[in-house]
Chains A and B, each alone.
Chain A
Amino acid sequence: MPLTTPTPTAAPPAGLAPHRWLRFAVRRSGRLLVSLWVLVTAAFLMIHLVPGDPVRASLGPTASAELVAARRESLGLDQPLWVQYATYLRDLLTGDLGTSFGSQLPVADTIAQRLPATATLALLAFLVAVLVAVPVGVAVAVATRRGRAPRTELGFASTSVFLATIPDFLLAVALVWVFGVTLGWLPIAGQDGAASFVLPVLALAVGPAAVLARIVRVEMLAVLETDYVRTARAKRLPPAAVHLGHALPNAVTASLTLGGLLLGQLVAGTVLVESVFAWPGLGSTVVESILAKDYPLVQGTVLVYGVGVLVVNTMVDVALAVLDPRSTIGES
């Protein structure tokens, strides 16, 4: 009988050190710094791992030897590796990401110009995914718990699996066809007004929303069977207070870790979706720069995406620490 299953839990000692938040902050930022260092070093090494001479590869076989040598010198590629590394780190700290081979503009400027479109897209998609997935997951969990409404459960399970399997860029193409071409309701390319956001945001949000809704449902089902939810019911609170006030915070906390991974993938997913919708963001920049072998621009954009993912992961951990008072202790 699920209601009488005791959960043996070791009780932590009462009266905890007040500086546990500080410890958490130190530990977490330590991890962030290590990850950042690995990321920056990887971005630096990327250009050196390119087989052959990256400058020659970028300028093409017809470029003169003088031009190649001059470009090498201006990039500092004639220096010893560790000097280049030190220079790279120093420049990074001052916000200097180098100069694009193609446009001869500072990479930082290009990124600053393209980043907002991408960040808006990713953020909106994430919001939509969460705002759809959490209520749906909670509602389906409440409706289908303990084997109730088996048909709702089956419908939800199959729909969500199907939606989660379709990759975002394929969904984007399908959306373009349905809403742009067949129905003609929405613009299918470029960023121009609110309507132009609908399809790209949808394409990015549907997959993560489906996965997240499944996670939330499973976590919610587990939480609804806990002793503390039974306690809440024993207080004779209205069902909404039990489900939203007691069960939901725990289910969301439990869903957060996996949700964070989804968000990271969503950031990367913008590259493909932007390509479908000719979105004026960083995605097309990174693709074009890879194709053009514009290495400084590639380095800069990859770095920005990586930092974006790291920021997302860190935010998830911080949110987890705020929402779940046990998590800061659990780590030590």
Chain B
Amino acid sequence: MPARLPAPTRRPASARLPAILRTPLGVTGAALLALVLVTAVLAPLLWGDAAEAVDTAAMLQGPSADHWAGTDNLGRDLLFRTLVATRLSVALALAATALAVTVGLLLGTASLLLGPRAGRLVTAGVNIAVAFPGLLLALSFAVIFGVGQVGSVLAIGLSGAPAFARLCQTLVAGVATRDYLAAARLAGVGRLRILLRHVLPDVGGPLVVNVTIGAGGALLSFAGLSFLGLGVQAPAYDWGRLMQDGLDRIYLDPLAALLPGFAVVVAGLAFNLTGEAVARTFSIDSISGVSLLAGGALRTRRRPDAGGLPGQDATPSADVPLDAGPDLVLDVADLVVTVPTPAGRVRPVRGVTFQVARGEAVGVVGESGSGKTLTALAVARLLEPPTTVTARRLSFQGRDLLTGDHRTLLGTELAMVFQDPASSFNPVRRMGGQLAEGARHHLGLSRRQARDRAVDRLRSVRIGDPDRRAGQYPHEFSGGMRQRAMIGLGLMGSPALIVADEPTTALDVTVQRQVLDLLAEVRERDAVALLLISHDVSVVADVCDRVLVMYAGRVVEDLPAAGLATSARHPYTRALVAAVPHLETDLDRPLAVIPGRPVDPADLAAGCPFAPRCPLADARCRAEDPELVDGVACWRPGEDLPSAVPEEATA
């Protein structure tokens, strides 16, 4: 019997029972279960005599008008026998389940009942027993208890006990450490009483689920044991027994074996579906699907007026290419990223326009949810359906990325550095191979050449003993080394642009500097451009030539990094800078000085998206959304801010 592990917290069982019946799964399960239970109760009363009626004139017949499923060797009607057998089959399964649960509970809570030392011994035994399939245990117990109903109930019940014991151990371990148990123990409450009054109610939900599913399992096991001839013995009969008798005659009367088999499947399904439905309602499921698009920011409903289409009325001055000459590495105009959510389509990036020149370092700053990472991934063509990317222009190295296949171009000339180096390398493959495979694929290098190049690149990013390191797995590298190896991976080709998404966020402060220096060194060596996404204004100010400030999926200001502290004109940029003492504050933490919260891209009002938080906001700001003109998207750029910080004003 498979044990389901619970989710950590649950509501009381009674509160949610009606909810189960509202799911299709729950309705089907409950209906089937009701059908099975009603049959179990009524069938022997209604057809008990008919099922026993011997008819020597109609022995071993196939299906007929009188006997829909045929007759057995005494001329007894097999349809009636199958229906009547419901009671014994279900009753035996329930008896075995009850035994399994009781013994399992006792074993599983042994540490509470017997104290820790004996408990540990029991746990070890349970762990060994759980590794053996239930059927094997049942067969062994059948040897001891002998064939027949009682022996089989004992065998199946005991063989199911280890699984329940394991479940209880897990559940109890979660409960036993809680304060009220310690309090109860201190108050001198007896062990059994603690178990009954405090532990059981708490683990009840998952237990109910597993008991239901376990009953289904016991039913199938019993059918199996009887089918082998080890379970119910004649003249008594259950479904397994009927199947065994029917199998010999499968050519003559297939229904003799198939009908009881069908009954077993229906009854098994009834228990399993019901258990499954309860489990879902209480979210007690071990292998449920991975949630899709689980983004807090994207979940909410979308307002019908959420942002007009950008670009349609774009001011021409905003997107005139600097110069479509060879100096432009990246040219982006009106980039839009659309994400479908259950509540409708949301656009976390709404018309972003910028260029990156050869060798230039451009920083993108903004709060979480400003669309900066999605912009980077969209530019790198790493977003996948159902997320869609549209743009008026998206060209890299003079090639239009919106049409055609640019795999080799991107694979050799665009390098990516991701935020978390710990998870960005494949844990089951060696580092050397992970660096080499792209080069083998795009540059046609042989295995040896590619490896040599990988070792060379590891050396160039200052990884000591690169030959040995290339043969190691990612977990054998330190965090800083992995991030340097990531940069080395980007250098396997001949990159013109490195897109680095928060490259130092996950690193220790001491190694952050190393990685930034390495990036600077690489840029200098080969005139590589850098698009650096960061929430850390100080890093961007330090490393970059130019800064794009993003807010609510748009660039609100585009200015030289050197002017960040002095000549920022957008109220948001100025608030950012003012809020950053020595430019070192983490923007992912709420900024007390910028009142209000970042906007939700699913919930944009008309007008300037910053208006709710802007000290300069006026009626026009709330009505019309400013475009990016002359490097700033604001109706009142550069105007004096009212003293934003009350404390200072009063001081």
A→B interface (CB under 8 Å)? 1-4, 6-9, 11-16, 34-35, 38, 42-43, 46, 49-51, 146-148, 165-167, 169-170, 173-174, 176-177, 180-182, 188, 214-215, 218, 221-222, 225-238, 241, 245-246, 249-250, 253, 264-265, 267-269, 271-272, 275-276, 286-287, 290-291, 295, 298, 302, 305-306, 309-310, 313, 323-326, 329
Interface stretch, picked from B469-477, B544-552, B566-574, is B469-477
Which B363-398 residues have C-beta < 8 A from chain A?
373-374, 377, 380, 382-386
Do B426 and A173 touch across chains, with their CB atoms under 8 A apart? no
Name the A residues within 8 Å of B254 (CB-CB).
Answer: 177, 181-182
Contact among A237, A271, A276 with B437 in the assembled complex (CB-CB below 8 Å): A237
Residue B199 lies at the interface, judged by CB distance under 8 Å to chain A: no
Name the A residues within 8 Å of B294 (CB-CB).
Answer: 2
Chief secondary structure at chain A's binding surface: helix
Residue B283 lies at the interface, judged by CB distance under 8 Å to chain A: no
Do B272 and A165 touch across chains, with their CB atoms under 8 A apart? yes
Name the B residues within 8 Å of A180 (CB-CB).
Answer: 250
Residue B293 lies at the interface, judged by CB distance under 8 Å to chain A: yes
For this complex, 6 residue pairs linking A to B, each with C-beta atoms less than 8 Å apart, are A12-B475, A51-B146, A228-B427, A237-B441, A272-B227, A305-B136
Residue B289 lies at the interface, judged by CB distance under 8 Å to chain A: yes
Q: Which residue from chain A places its CB closest to the CB of B416 in the assembled complex?
A: A234
Do B261 and A170 touch across chains, with their CB atoms under 8 A apart? yes
User: How far apart sit A275 and B244, CA to CA, in the bound complex (Å)?
Assistant: 10
Q: Which residue from chain A places its CB closest to the CB of B220 in the assembled complex?
A: A167
State the interface size on chain B (CB cutoff 8 A): 91
Name the B residues within 8 Å of A7 (CB-CB).
Answer: 420, 422-423
**Shortest CB distance B245–A (Å):** 12
User: How far apart sit A8 and B505, CA to CA, in the bound complex (Å)?
Assistant: 11
**Shortest CB distance A247–B (Å):** 9
Given A221-B289, A235-B437, A286-B139, verify A2-B295 contact (CB < 8 Å): yes
Q: Which of B139, B348, B382, B411 has the most CB of A within 10 A?
A: B139
Interface 1/0 per residue, B134-172 and A, CB below 8 Å? 111001101110110000000000000000000000000
Given A218-B290, A227-B424, verify A177-B269 contact (CB < 8 Å): no
User: How far apart sit A228 and B382, CA to CA, in the bound complex (Å)?
Assistant: 13
User: How far apart sit A215 and B489, CA to CA, in the bound complex (Å)?
Assistant: 33
Interface 1/0 per residue, B104-141 and A, CB below 8 Å? 00000000000000000000010010011111100110
**Shortest CB distance A143–B (Å):** 12
Residue B91 lies at the interface, judged by CB distance under 8 Å to chain A: no
Q: Which of B251, B382, B475 has the most CB of A within 10 A?
A: B475
Q: Which residue from chain A places its CB closest to the CB of B410 in the assembled complex?
A: A236
17 other A-B residue contacts (CB within 8 Å) besides A165-B265, A176-B250: A8-B422, A14-B476, A166-B265, A174-B258, A182-B254, A218-B289, A226-B423, A227-B420, A228-B425, A234-B380, A234-B416, A241-B437, A249-B429, A265-B133, A290-B143, A313-B131, A323-B428
Name the B residues within 8 Å of A43 (CB-CB).
Answer: 140
Residue B408 lies at the interface, judged by CB distance under 8 Å to chain A: yes
**Shortest CB distance B473–A (Å):** 4
Name the A residues within 8 Å of B589 (CB-CB).
Answer: none
Residue B297 lies at the interface, judged by CB distance under 8 Å to chain A: yes
Given A236-B411, A329-B475, verify A173-B423 contact (CB < 8 Å): no
User: How far apart sit A182 and B420, CA to CA, in the bound complex (Å)?
Assistant: 60
Do A291 and B230 touch across chains, with their CB atoms under 8 A apart? yes
Do A167 and B228 touch across chains, with their CB atoms under 8 A apart? no
Q: Which residue from chain A places its CB closest to the CB of B415 in the assembled complex?
A: A234
**Shortest CB distance B27–A (Å):** 15
Residue B63 lies at the interface, judged by CB distance under 8 Å to chain A: no
Contact among B382, B475, B476 with A230 in the assembled complex (CB-CB below 8 Å): B382
Do B132 and A173 touch across chains, with their CB atoms under 8 A apart? no
B→A interface (CB under 8 Å)? 125, 128, 131-136, 139-140, 142-144, 146-147, 220, 223-224, 227-230, 243, 247, 250-251, 254, 257-258, 261, 264-265, 268-269, 272, 287-290, 292-295, 297-298, 339-340, 348, 373-374, 377, 380, 382-386, 407-408, 410-411, 416, 418-420, 422-429, 434, 437-438, 441-442, 473, 475-479, 481-482, 486, 489, 501, 505-506
Contact among A12, A236, A305, A309 with B442 in the assembled complex (CB-CB below 8 Å): A236
Which 6 pairs of residues, A with B, have the shortest CB-CB distance? A236-B411, A268-B133, A235-B438, A227-B423, A268-B135, A9-B422
Do A177 and B257 touch across chains, with their CB atoms under 8 A apart? yes
**Shortest CB distance A39–B (Å):** 8
Name the A residues within 8 Å of B426 (CB-CB).
Answer: 228-229, 231-232, 246, 249-250
**Shortest CB distance A225–B (Å):** 7
Name the A residues within 8 Å of B142 (CB-CB).
Answer: 290
Do B385 and A148 touch across chains, with their CB atoms under 8 A apart? yes
Name the A residues within 8 Å of B416 (CB-CB).
Answer: 231, 234
Q: Which of A146, A167, A177, A264 has the most CB of B within 10 A?
A: A167
User: How far apart sit A212 and B125, CA to CA, in the bound complex (Å)?
Assistant: 28
Report how many A-B pairs have Cβ atoms within 8 Å. Answer: 245
Do B135 and A173 touch across chains, with their CB atoms under 8 A apart? no
Contact among A13, A169, A218, A309 with B131 in the assembled complex (CB-CB below 8 Å): A309
Do B268 and A165 touch across chains, with their CB atoms under 8 A apart? yes
Given A146-B386, A228-B427, verify A287-B230 contact (CB < 8 Å): yes
Do B420 and A6 touch across chains, with their CB atoms under 8 A apart? yes
**Shortest CB distance B137–A (Å):** 9
User: How far apart sit A218 and B340, CA to CA, in the bound complex (Å)?
Assistant: 22
User: How far apart sit A312 and B639, CA to CA, in the bound complex (Å)?
Assistant: 75
Q: Which residue from chain A places its CB closest to the CB of B373 in the assembled complex?
A: A4
Contact among A16, A167, A233 with B382 in the assembled complex (CB-CB below 8 Å): A233
Q: Which residue from chain A places its CB closest to the CB of B372 in the assembled complex?
A: A4
User: How far apart sit A287 and B142, CA to CA, in the bound complex (Å)?
Assistant: 10
User: How far apart sit A146 and B388, CA to CA, in the bound complex (Å)?
Assistant: 13
**Shortest CB distance A59–B (Å):** 15
**Shortest CB distance A16–B (Å):** 6
Do B136 and A246 touch across chains, with their CB atoms under 8 A apart? no
User: How far apart sit A29 and B426, CA to CA, in the bound complex (Å)?
Assistant: 29
Q: Which residue from chain A places its CB closest to the CB of B418 in the assembled complex?
A: A227
Contact among B143, B224, B382 with A302 in the assembled complex (CB-CB below 8 Å): B143
Contact among A2, A46, A181, A264 with B250 in the assembled complex (CB-CB below 8 Å): A181
Q: Which residue from chain A places its CB closest to the CB of B499 in the assembled complex?
A: A234
User: How far apart sit A245 and B441, CA to CA, in the bound complex (Å)?
Assistant: 13
Contact among B125, B377, B407, B478 with A3 in the assembled complex (CB-CB below 8 Å): B377
Name the A residues within 8 Å of B135 (CB-CB).
Answer: 265, 268-269, 271-272
User: How far apart sit A177 and B254, CA to CA, in the bound complex (Å)?
Assistant: 7
Name the B residues within 8 Å of A268 (CB-CB).
Answer: 133-136
**Shortest CB distance A208–B (Å):** 12
Name the A residues within 8 Å of B501 (CB-CB).
Answer: 4
User: How far apart sit A286 and B546, CA to CA, in the bound complex (Å)?
Assistant: 79
Q: Which residue from chain B places its CB closest to the CB of A9 in the assembled complex?
A: B422
Do B290 and A302 touch across chains, with their CB atoms under 8 A apart? no
Name the B residues within 8 Å of A6 (CB-CB).
Answer: 419-420, 423, 505-506
User: How far apart sit A221 and B291, CA to CA, in the bound complex (Å)?
Assistant: 10
Name the A residues within 8 Å of B386 (CB-CB).
Answer: 146-148
User: How far apart sit A246 and B426, CA to CA, in the bound complex (Å)?
Assistant: 7
Given A173-B243, A275-B228, verify A14-B261 contact (CB < 8 Å): no
Do A170 and B292 touch across chains, with their CB atoms under 8 A apart? no
Do B476 and A16 touch across chains, with their CB atoms under 8 A apart? yes
**Shortest CB distance A175–B (Å):** 11
Name the A residues within 8 Å of B227 (CB-CB).
Answer: 169, 272, 275
**Shortest CB distance B100–A (Å):** 17
**Shortest CB distance A144–B (Å):** 9
Name the B residues within 8 Å of A275 (CB-CB).
Answer: 227-228
Name the B residues within 8 Å of A15 (CB-CB).
Answer: 476
Q: Which residue from chain A places its CB closest to the CB of B219 in the assembled complex?
A: A167
Name the B residues within 8 Å of A4 (CB-CB).
Answer: 373-374, 419, 501
**Shortest CB distance B588–A (Å):** 10
Name the A residues within 8 Å of B258 (CB-CB).
Answer: 173-174, 177
Do B428 and A298 touch across chains, with their CB atoms under 8 A apart? no
**Shortest CB distance B103–A (Å):** 16
User: How far apart sit A35 and B131, CA to CA, in the bound complex (Å)?
Assistant: 9
Name the A residues within 8 Å of B268 (CB-CB).
Answer: 165, 167
